[in-house]
Amino acid sequence: MTTPVWIAGVGMTPFGRHRGKSVGDLTRWAVADALRDCGATAGGLDAAFFGTATQGPLEGQHMVPGQIALRAMGVQRIPVVNVENACATGASAFALAVDRIRAGAADVVLAVGVERMNVGDPARTMAVFDGAYDVADPAALARTLLDLGGEVDEDGLGPRSVFMDIYAAVARNHMRVYGTTQEQIAAVAAKNHGHAAANPRAHHREPMTVADVLAARRLAYPLTVPMCAPITDGAAAVVVCGEAGLRRLGAAKRVEVRATAIGTGTDRDPRAFEDHQSRSVSARAYEQAGIGPDDVDVAEVHDATAFGEVLQTEMLGLVPPGEGGPAALRGETSLGGRLPVNPSGGLESKGHPLAASGLGQIVELTEQLRGTAGPRQVEGARIAVAENGGGFHRGEEAVTCVTVLGRA
């Protein structure tokens, strides 16, 4: 029988631009809130998994960032393990914390992710993303994008990360295979900007219409700026416990961790969506949780661009293949719809501090299952799923994490 694991406490800074705040400041903010949420103290933790993907290249803190950021708030003596898994760093840290509980090696474990990406040099920040694919063979990326999205001649598109070109190429392949339209992708962005307007911790809180999204500055076709995640600072933290840990803390606001699954890609035809790694990873998570996609009440998926939500809702089986865009246009994935997706506003509106994003999803879904999400609340939510992906390798994300949570 699988050892029960519970989320006992969550904490999260607002996501946005935090001028004057350090990585340590943001870490302590989120961790203090998570500890307070469950009545724990730093001295009561048995282990910590600390995630950051950009502090090394942006600040030069290439090693022991977690030990440095956490010691000042009393996290001492215990194992502190640093985690880097591109944009899936947060969910990976969470899965490692859960695994440590399941292994019987700890009773109370912290997972935290943090980034300070606005360092006053946008070009240096954008260059960070160049390290999230195979730097030894950059020509392979160019060939893959050409195979996926064809050659597109566009001038004057302005600065953007390479991942906007990656998402755009995958989107064009999806448009060719399924007939997905730019308007449908814009509907996802408009929905998520609307959701973020009700989220006080979101980076962008301005509602937008589909027409507003389509009229905005172009990036690589079919993407426009509001379809894409901003450069964001922030931190998120989660305290997980086993049964003994819950008794020790006396935590009452628990949410069950039904499953965590992590996977990497295969040498498949990158144009074939039926073999996408998110399918296999989510299948393992559903099996572990003893549910199917039809049981899910609310989801947070990795929408570094609005197309990411289109793709991942299909790959997770939440909508049929080719229906991610039409479902959004029909309102099915909006709050009040059949299956709300990204009620937080998603990465494109809530913001995307890389290592904090996956844990930010867990924070949102924990609040949904507790019934404390306020105007974003999905009524009657009992089962929640999060998908967090990172990097790019041979036609798909380099890593995908899927988490299933359940109301206690």
Report which of 54, 79, 66 is spatially closest to residue 27, judged by C-alpha positions: 66
Q: Which two tokens stand for residue 291?
A: 């549910």
DSSP per residue, 332-374 = TTSTTSSS-B-TT-HHHHH---HHHHHHHHHHHHHHHHHT--G
Report which of 90, 341, 127, 46 is spatially closest to residue 235, judged by C-alpha positions: 90
Measured distance CA(342)–CA(195) in Å, rounded: 8
Measured distance CA(50)–CA(28) in Å, rounded: 12
Which residue is associated with the tokens 């995630």? 51
Which residue is associated with the tokens 């999230």? 132
Measured distance CA(320)–CA(256) in Å, rounded: 28
Does residue 313 contact residue 319 with C-beta atoms inside 8 Å?
Answer: yes
Report which of 34, 30, 231, 18 is spatially closest to residue 114, judged by C-alpha positions: 30
Instruction: Provide the residue type at 401 as one letter.
Output: C
Could you list the active site residues? 87, 352
Report which of 215, 195, 226, 236 is spatially closest to residue 340, judged by C-alpha positions: 195
Q: Which two tokens stand for residue 393?
A: 């390798």
Measured distance CA(139)–CA(134) in Å, rounded: 9
308 Cβ partners below 8 Å, 6+ apart? Answer: 167, 301, 302, 347, 389
Does residue 219 contact residue 162 with C-beta atoms inside 8 Å?
Answer: no
